[in-house]
Structures are given as structure tokens and as C-alpha cells.
Homo-oligomer: A and B are copies of this chain.
Amino acid sequence: MGKASKLSEVAKIAGVSPITASRAIRGNGYVSEAARERVLAAAAQLNYTPDMLARRMRGDKSKLIGVFVNNYGSLVVHEIAKAISQEARNIGYDILIFNAERFDGPGRAPTCDMLSKLCDGLVLLLPNGEDGYLEVIERQRIPAVFFSFDARDVSVPVVAVENREAARAAVEHLIGLGHRRIAFIGGSRATGQSGQRQKGYADALAAAGLPVLPELMVEGRFVQAGGYAATEQLLALEQLPTAIFAANDEMAFGAIDAIHSRGLEVPAQISVIGFDDIPTASGVFPTLSTMRQPLAQMAACAVDELVAMIDGAPVASKKLAFPMELVVRNSTGPAPAA
């Protein structure tokens, strides 16, 4: 009743050699009906489960996908991980989530290394472009996909949204509503996505002949509290913006909160649009206009790419960018009459 049992024990009870027991359990080679039954019975009796560690050490598949996350705090990360988990499950893989700010820290490298061996393939979520571990992956040609990454070209497939184009669409929505003084709340620069979104913001303004003003571009670290603080900065300006484009939904929530705290109304006085469309976006008040990320499709694509590599396809550079959809809800409205 104590520790887990091993194959040799099962074999002994069944009166066969370990390898025969192994064959019987995996239904692999030739095993007589009689022997097979004795083995299976013994296994059941001992509650035997094969040691995947040992199997994996021999190089067998583990049917496990590792998801490396470096910003577990964020809600999008949660949603993405959920989507990947579902997709993986559908095709017979389980996922293991490993969480660290960086993967190249001193004590962390062996763990990453171990997990990369344990898992058949890896998905790196929002990896930091400067993380040294990215190079390890590229160098060792480990089957891997980067998810939501826009920092630079890499030699593995990258699944992401069309950050720049989508940001532009968000801002064009605001411009279409008559807004002329539009602020941008950016996130941290680690994955390169915020930078692209900022470019899209500038693209839209430029196309409409509007100036790109430094005082209207603030930073909120992709977190709600950061969005709140960034918005307070904006609300302290001489001339307030009439609309805010936040580089993710969580910062948009913070922005709305800050605006309400000042006794102003959304969208009557200031419109707010987010980015990502996490589930909460439709549950808050006012419901949040935002750009929707096709997470399920992206997750499916990432998993498919990964499994292809696991099954032998070469690891190659490949950019899979998904378009986003504008979701208009109640946080954006016509610009107030000046």
C-alpha cells in the first residue's frame, strides 16, 4: 500500500520477465493470451502505472506540451493558456505550465532544460525578447512555438495577432467617432507587442492628419493599476484627451476606473477602447469596446504547428499573424462637442 509499484514487481507476480510484462501492458509485441492476462491482473492488483520519467529518459514521447509563461499575472495569459490547453487536449496532449519572469535565471536553467526534455514540445507565451533562453531554444532546435511575440525575427514559428494593423483599426474607430485628441497607454516592451501597437496608433493618427503628441503617450505595464496611474497622468493635462486607446483590456479597466474616480463619464466625456477582448470586457460597466483576439484559432494553429514539428517537420522561421476584429460596445462614443 506504500510507494508506487514497478514493472519488475508486476512481472514477478505474473511469473514472467519484465520485458514480457512491458509488452503485455503496452500491447506491443507477441505475448500469449495467458501471459497477458496474468500480467494485466498483476498490474491491476498492484495499481501499477508506468514510470514516464524512465520512459522519457529513453527518448520516448511524453504526450506533454510545455507552456512557458513569463507574465503569469496577466489575465490574457490565463485565457491563452486555457485555449492552448483545450486544443492540446483535443489531440491527445496534456499541458504543463511553467511560470517564471525569465527562463535564463541561474537556478532556472536546469529546470527549463529538464522540462524541454520532458515535454515533446514547447509553447512560449509572451516571451521576453531579451531572455537568453530563447537562444537556447533556437540553437538546440527544440520543437517550439512563440506565442504573442513581436520583438524580432526568430528561427521558430511565431503565432501572434496583427498588432500594428489592429491598433490602427482601434484608433480609426475613435477617429471615426470624431475624436481628435486620442491618448495611448502602452504596456511593457518585453514582447515587442506594445511597440507595434504604438506604431499602429501613430499610423492612424498620421493617416488622419493628426499630430502624434508625446504627452498623450503613457505607460501602464499591461496591468490594471498601471492603466489607472497612466490615466491619472492624462487627466492631469491642461487639455484632456477625449479618447484613450489602451494596449490591453486590463489597462483599459484601470483607465475607466480612473475616469470615473474623477467624476467624469465614459464614454460621454472620454471614450476608452481596449485590446484583447478578455471575457471580463463584456461584464464590466460600461461594457468595453476592444479588439478581439481570435484565441481559439491561434491556439489551434500553435498546437498544430508544434505537433507537426514533434512529428518530424523541420523547425523553421514562420510568422503566423492573425487579424483582429473590432468589437464595439459601450465604452466608446462620439467625441463631445468641443
Contacts and interface: CB of A to CB of B under 8 A. Distances in A.
Contacts of A253: 280, 283-284
A111 B95 CA distance: 10
Contacts of A51: 110, 113-114, 117
Nearest to A223: B279
Copies in the complex: 2
Interface in A89-140: 92, 94-100, 107-111, 113-115, 117-118, 136, 139-140
A291 interface: no
A141 interface: yes
Interface in A73-103: 73, 75, 78, 81-82, 85, 92, 94-100
Contacts of A254: 283
B2 A224 contact: no
A147 B279 CA distance: 25
A56 interface: yes
Contacts of A285: 256, 260, 284-286
A97 B94 contact: no
A121 B282 CA distance: 39
A308 to B, nearest CB: 20
Contacts of A95: 98-99
A109 B49 contact: yes
Interface string A1-28: 1111000000000000000000000000
Nearest to A98: B96
A107 B75 CA distance: 29
Contacts of A56: 53, 114
Residue among A50, A99, A111, A254 with most chain B CB within 10 A: A99
A19 B140 CA distance: 25
Interface in A53-69: 53-54, 56-57, 62-64
A113 B5 CA distance: 11
A49 B82 contact: no
Given A53-B57, A96-B96, A111 B64 contact: yes
A141 to B, nearest CB: 7
Interface in A126-181: 136, 139-141
A2 B51 CA distance: 28
Interface of A: 1-4, 47, 49-54, 56-57, 62-64, 72-73, 75, 78, 81-82, 85, 92, 94-100, 107-111, 113-115, 117-118, 136, 139-141, 224, 253-254, 256-257, 260, 279-280, 282-286
